[in-house]
Each structure stands twice: as structure tokens, then as C-alpha cells.
Structure 1
Amino acid sequence: MPEAYWLYEDGIGEARATLIDDDRILAARIELPGRLRVGTVARARLTEFQLATLDTGEQVMLDRRPPGVTLGSAITVEVVREAIPEPGRAKRARGRMTDATPATGPNLLARITATGVPVRTLRAHEPDLLEQAGWSEVLDEALFGEIAFAGGALRMSPTPAMTLFDVDGDGPLDVLAERAAVAVAHAIRRHGIGGSIGVDFPSVTGKATRQAVAAAIDAHLALPFERTAVNGFGFMQIVRPRPRASLPELLRDDLAAASTRAALRQIERVPATAPNRHRLSGPVGACLDAHPDWLDELVRRTGRTPIFNA
């Protein structure tokens, strides 16, 4: 296989993709169906001065008040940022007025194909290359925020204002900080984190040491991004484009649904000769009851109806 490649799965309730290089996951992405995607161009009406309501009923915040357009007027909108889940409420999708022809934005498969990196589509009856590469470990990172690296660990905490990384570890602080910078850069890419990002490094002394930490970020985090220097308290801020929710934001928005989709992925891969009885937690069972289409799809794919125990 080429040095780097995408693995793609059309899963039950979600599409999944990972960028693999040297047997490790460089980027992990999940896309949920029915979401308003970046690049979508749709008819709408201006319902507030910076709010457009699409003909489908979805609302999009506009980047600026359209000049010369009165409330209630028909307009065409292009989505430039998808809705971002947050505790208690969600940031609406953002868009801008356009003269383009209405069209649906590219889905996950189209986006990874457009990178030019080879894509391999996985089937449930094939070896689980996604899991072999560390899929479950990446999901655990996203859900619980604990990311280990040589000599230390990161704690990743998404907040409405920014995603925060806290560094902990042993050994010389300058070595720990540089290793942490590399780990942060890799985690940002792996989890698709955008927007404002704060990193609390150990309080290293000396301008040269702080510059070395910043240089490690520059060397391992792909553009575009902007950053501050590491200040005297060890804090750096990074700002990246944020076209859609990060993996932690997406999964933490509905833990029961994320766990249910993960369980269905495992059940789908159980051999036809194996027992068909499965134990589900209460929240996962309730979520599956709320999504009968997921169970129908599981039955269609496997050819048998599973038996669940609480």
C-alpha cells in the first residue's frame, strides 16, 4: 500500500474515515447524516438582519448584514461553517450570500477523495483495519480527553470558548514541553480541532526554550494557523479554521448515540456462526429504541435480528 492512505467506512448512523501512515492514525473523522454541510448552496429567506432560514427550515447565521436586502426577501446562501454543538445550545451554521446554483456540499467520502490520497473502502466482513490502526483508542481520546505521549500526558478539554490542552509529565521541563508541543500538534490534526486552542505548557525558563517549543508546533502542525509565542507562564494560543465540529465536540454532544453507533459497528462484525445475543447498557438500549432505522439497517446488513440483554 502507499505510504499514506485513507480508510473509509459507510457505517450505521455515521460515516468514518481515518488517514493512516506508518500504521498509525494521523486524522480521524466522523460524519453524521442529515447535517447541513460546508459548501451547500441553498435557497433561503432573510428572517433577521443576519439570519437566513433555508427552505428546508434550517437557520444559517450570515457573515454580515446583506446590504439592500429587506426582511423576508428571497436569497441564496452558501454554508461556510457547519453547526457546532455546545453544552446547552449549538452554534448555528454560518453562511454568506451567493449567486451560485443550489447544490449539496461534499460529504466525507468526497472530501477525503479530493485530497488525492488513496482511499480504501472497508467492508464489515473484511479484516478490521480501522481497529487495528487504533480506532477505539482515538475515540477514547475524544471522549475522555486523556492523550499519552513519551514522558507525559495531555488532558484535552473542549469548552465553548476554546479547546484547552493541559500538559503533565516527568523529567526536565524543557524536554517535556517540546515533546508535549509535538503531541499537541498531532492531536489537533487527529481530532480535527479548529477555532481557538489554548495550550498550558510547563513554565519553562529562557527565551530560547520557549522558542524551541513554538518551533515544534510550527514543524508538526500544518498551515493554516496562527499562534502566539509561549508566554512566561507557559501558555500559547493557536487559532485555526473551524469549518465543522471536532471529533470530541461531535461525540460528546450525544454520548449515548456515540456509544450506540460504536456498539453497532462491533455487532455488524460478529461472524454469522457466532452467538447472536448481545448485552447493551441502559442508555445504549434506549438510544437504539429511539433509532429503529439503525436496527433495521443492522438486520439488513447482517441478515439476522440480534437479541439484546440489558
Structure 2
Amino acid sequence: MAEWIYEDGIGEARAALIEDGVIVAAEIEADDDGIAAGTIAEGRLVKITVPGRRGLVRLDGGEEVQIEPLPRGVTEGGRLVVEIRRAALPEPGRAKLALARQASPEAGIAQGPTLIERLHASGDAVRRLMAHEADALEAAGWSELLEEARTGEVAFPGGGLRLSLTPAMTLIDVDGWLDPAALSIAGAEAAARMIVRHGIGGSIGIDLPTAGSKAARQAAAEAVDTIVPQPFERTAVNGFGFLQIVRRRLRASLPERLQGDPLGSAARALLRRAERTPGSGMRTISSHPGVIGRIADRPDWQAELARRIGAPIALRPDARLAISGGHVDAENP
């Protein structure tokens, strides 16, 4: 039976849907994600960026969101109530603003559901994982999942996937050594599992090998239909092996999180390791200077870690370490 394992970590909450010992879906909710999808809030239209189409709303809480389409009759400076359709997305250099639309007249002010609330509403079993318990997430391949999201590379029998994030869509390239028809089907299955596993939404392109027969192209498309849950839309696999999928996009995928904010993601992963490091006495966290800087900038993270482990912590920047290469040492192992 599938079961969600949920962990309320430092700096982020994380969860994985585990079936037969394998992670089939996962989500992360960081403490700096900003306003959640589904939130209904009041604000002011501060700027029209595309006349008749798009504008900028500053919510009463101070966060700015993009609104599209522009509501009729609201001019710059006007008050309105909006519904958040999609949370902000981390991107290298800058975050993409949350996307909003005008709320229905009868809508009341409300916060969007948190990760744990969404899990309970899913109907699947949910179990909270505590730091003193055996690490069920790691046993199912949590670190491997994060590495997939960080690099965009996933192997499957007979080939491999390479994911690329672009402003327009998420692209998944399929390559391998099977014959083209077999590789097209196997690659479509692997790409579909990756989409579900990493929570990828929006416009997605899968570049399969050119399969000579219409039957192979149809089988590849049907493999996607079997694995990716509805609702979604897709094209047929064209003669060049390209398939496009459009899924609802409410929040960032795991690759968007890890590639859009590599330092923050590595810092949170290292805090998780620190919480689970055995021993007693001071814990020394060693990592790339950028990662240590992110932890140093969050005294609340440090205080919460010290509270949970019952010991002080020390931060040690080491320029020789890669961003993902940090480690934690206990004073008394």
C-alpha cells in the first residue's frame, strides 16, 4: 500500500509517497516559498504591465504577485481580492512572481493549504517521520531523488533521461542503446515516472528517439497515459519523436527548487543531516562557504537545530567542498 512519509524539517517540510519501498512522488515546502496556491487575499493594483492583460498587485501582507487577466474596472491604485493560482517559482537570478486572478465575489479571505493539509486531503495514508526514528525517507532513496532533481539526470534500463529547465517549458531528452521503437516506449515510461516523481507541471516536452512505426509512437503515448494521473493534456508523438504534455502547475517542481536555489536547498539538506547525526556535544557543520552563509543568515534555523539536538552548533566554511558536499561531525561521536 502506498503511504506518504511526512517530515517537518528545519527550513522546510518534505514528503514522499512510497510504494513497495520506492519513492513514486515527492514534495518539498520551504519556509520562504511565499504565498501558497489557493490563498485568497486582498491587495492593491500597483502597476499595469501589459494594458488590458497583465498587472502587478501588492498584497496587504507586502508580497507582490502578478495578476492575469486584468480585472475589468480596476485601475492602478484600486483595491481588489485575488486568488493565487500558482505560487512563486525559484529561478536562477530571480524568482518568478506568484500568479493570481481576481477572486470570485463570494470568496472569503483564506490561506492556501499547507503540504500536510494537502497530504491528508489526498486520501492516502500519511505518517509523520521523527528524527529519532529509522530514516524511512533515506531508505526509499531520498538522497538519490535530490541528486536527480539537482542534475536532471535519471537512468533507466536501456538508456537515460536528461531534464532541462527553460523559461517556456521543462524538456526531457531520452537517449539510450535500445532499438528506436523499444527505446521510445521505455523512454516515455521513464519520463512519465520522472514527471510524477518530481512533481513537474506546466508545459513539458519529451524528446523521444524517432520511431519508425506509428504503432511504436502510439505505444509511447499510451505509456504516458498509464503513468501520469489525470488531469493533463498531451499531443500525439510526432514523426520526429516529440511529445508535449501540459499539466496543472500550482508550485515549483523539485528540479526547479534545487536548481533555482542550490545554496538554500543544500543548506536545508545539511540541516536534516545534522539533526540525524549520532553522538553528543557540539555539532560542527562543514560546507561550501555559500551554503554556510545561508545557514549563518538564518539564526532561527540554528536555534531550532540546537533545540532539537540539545547541543550547540558550529559552522565551518570550507572552499574545498562542493555545494552538495557538506558534512556534520559530533564532538563525541
Q: What is aligned with 1:140?
A: 147
**Post-superposition CA distance 1:139-195 (Å, at most 9, x none):** 000000110111111001111111111111112221111111111111001111111
Extract unaligned runs of 5+ from structure 2: 49-54, 319-333
1:27 maps to which of 16, 25, 28: 25
Paired AA for residue 222 in structure 1: P
CA distance in 2, matches of 1:94, 1:273: 46
- Structure 1 residues 32 and 276: alpha-carbon distance in aligned structure 2, compared to 1, 3 A threshold: closer
For residues 151 and 30 of structure 1, what CA distance do their matches in structure 2 show? 30
> 5 Å matches for 1:1-310?
3-34=1-32, 35-49=34-48, 50-98=55-103, 99=105, 100-273=107-280, 276-309=283-316, 310=318
How far apart are residue 116 of structure 1 and its match?
Answer: 1.0
1:167 and 1:201 in contact (8 A); partners too: yes
Render the CA deviation track for 1:103-154: whole Å, top value 9, x for unaligned.
1111100011100111100110110000001000000000001101111110
Q: Secondary structure of 1:84's match? A: coil
Secondary structure of the residue aligned to 2:11 is: coil
SS in 2 for 1:86: coil
Following the alignment from structure 2 to structure 1, what is the Cα–Cα distance between the partners of residues 90 and 110? 24
Native 8 Å contact 1:86 1:160 kept in 2: no
Q: Tell me, what secondary structure is at the counterpart of 2:255?
A: helix
Q: 1:13 to 1:171 in 2, by over 3 A?
A: same
Aligned-partner Cα distance in 2 for 1:268–1:91: 31
Secondary structure, in 3 states, of the residue corresponding to 1:66? coil
Aligned residues: 308
| SS class of match (1:43) | strand
How much does 1:279 deviate? 2.7
Measure, in 1, the Cα distance between the counterparts of 2:271 and 2:237: 44
Measure how far apart 1:238 and its partner are: 1.0
Amino acid at match of 1:23: G
For structure 1, the residue ranges without an aligned partner over 5 or more in a row are none
Please give the root-mean-square deviation of Cα atoms over the aligned residues, in Å.
Answer: 1.5
**C-alpha separation between the residues in 2 aligned to 1:290 and 1:65?**
38
Q: What is the Cα deviation at residue 69 of structure 1?
A: 2.2
- Percent identity of equivalent pairs: 51
Tell me how far apart the structure 1 counterparts of residues 281 and 238 of structure 2 sit (CA, whole Å): 57
TM-score for both structures, normalised by structure 1: 0.95
Separation (CA, whole Å) in 1 of partners of 2:2 and 2:219: 28
- Give the aligned residue type for 1:7: I
The question of whether the paired residues in 1 share the 8 Å contact of 2:120 and 2:126 is answered with yes
Q: Which moved more, 1:117-126 or 1:50-59?
A: 50-59
3-state SS in 2 of match to 1:91? coil
Post-superposition offset of 1:87: 2.9
Residue identity matched to 1:59: E
Secondary structure of the corresponding residue to residue 248 of structure 1: helix
CA offset at residue 67 of structure 1?
1.3
Larger deviation: 87-96 or 158-167?
87-96
